Amino acid sequence: MTMTSVATPAAPLPLLRPRRLAPGDTVALINPSSAIHERAPYEVAAEALRSLGLKVREAPNLRARYGQFAGTDAQRAADVNAMFADPGVHGLLALTGGSGGTRMMPLVDYELIRRNPKFIGGYSDLTALINAIHARTGLVTFHSPTGASEWNVFSVESLRAMVFDAQAATLRNPPPPDDVLASRERIQTIRGGRASGPLLGGNLAVLAAMMGSRYVPSFDGAVLFLEDINEYIYRVDRMLSTLRNAGVFDRLAGVVLGAFTNCGPGDGNYGTLTLDEVFDDYFLGLNVPVYRGAMFGHIRRKLTLPVGLPVEMDADAGTIRLLQPAVT
């Protein structure tokens, strides 16, 4: 009988930080995920990057379409590989999320990326690519706005401080206006304390789909961050159980939960557990610091998070402090 083995998380590689972006640099727009069928998002993305002083390059297959995807798996992976290989391109930004990132992970040239480290950013479905690249190369990647995101002052300042100014910043939610008590974007401490470790994570649904593959980073001693959108609570519960059953929670130093946007019980299902109860069930027993409400995920104003960088989290203060700059 032939025995097959389950892939284990990639062993941590030496940390590799990209060069900081500077005005005049060229950033390539790529689309490893879902197709976009209107012109405006392309225009918004280009204008946003130019407003940061950057030049914009469209990857060759940026506007391709294959069913719901932005081109075939081979086309989307080819754009990632080509933009990392091009010495005239200094960074890559995903146009949007959606789905499809996990399909193309085997076609990405990770050795090429390791030899040509650059900024790459995105969130949601980009969880697959930014975690796979970090796992296979050691490169710090970025859970950041996509090109089609809303480029408001808060989101831009967070990205600029980390990726342009190379600040070892402390990431926190902004205070409420006029010192009014925050009712939204509110930090909730699930279990207090501080913890240090590499920051890893992203979209829960995508991360759960990656379990068992060779593209998952090692979570030993990590600070895990999670967000999601449009999932019934029972599905959030099921995906958290996937991570727990894969052994991820056994090894964590801490947990930071972002926005779980529109994640409710569903029509007529108020007999289900609440999100509070689900998070308590999975995280209270870990005996590590955990807090909820950090401003990342499918919300207007977003923190940029460096995937793989050593950080210190404070679950009582609701902060993530970078222990070194994310870029050189």
Kindly write down the DSSP assignment for every residue of 25-44, as one continuous string.
Answer: -EEEEE-SSB---SSHHHHH
Could you tell me the sign of the dihedral formed by the alpha carbons of 146, 222, 283, 184, in that order?
negative
Q: Environment class of residue 100 by beta-carbon count within 10 Å: exposed (0-12), middle (13-18) or buried (19+)?
A: buried
Residue 154: which of 145, 141, 146, 163 has the closest Cα?
145
| Cβ count within 10 A of residue 180 | 8
Please give the positions annotated as active site.
124, 227, 298
Strands, sheet with 254-261, edge to edge from the N-terminal-most edge strand: 170-172, 319-322, 310-314, 194-203, 223-229, 254-261, 290-292, 188-191
For the chain, what is the total number of helices (H) and then of strands (E)?
9, 14
Cβ–Cβ under 8 Å, residues 318 and 301: no
CA angle 39, 43, 46 (to 5 degrees): 145
Query: Which secondary-structure segment (H or E) carries 282?
Result: helix 275-283
Strands, sheet with 305-307, edge to edge from the N-terminal-most edge strand: 55-58, 26-30, 91-94, 119-122, 141-143, 305-307
Residue 247: which of 222, 274, 271, 276 has the closest Cα?
222
| Whole-angstrom distance, CA of residue 216 vs CA of residue 227 | 17
Q: What is the DSSP letter of 320?
A: E
Residue 179 neighbours by CB under 8 Å, 6+ apart: none
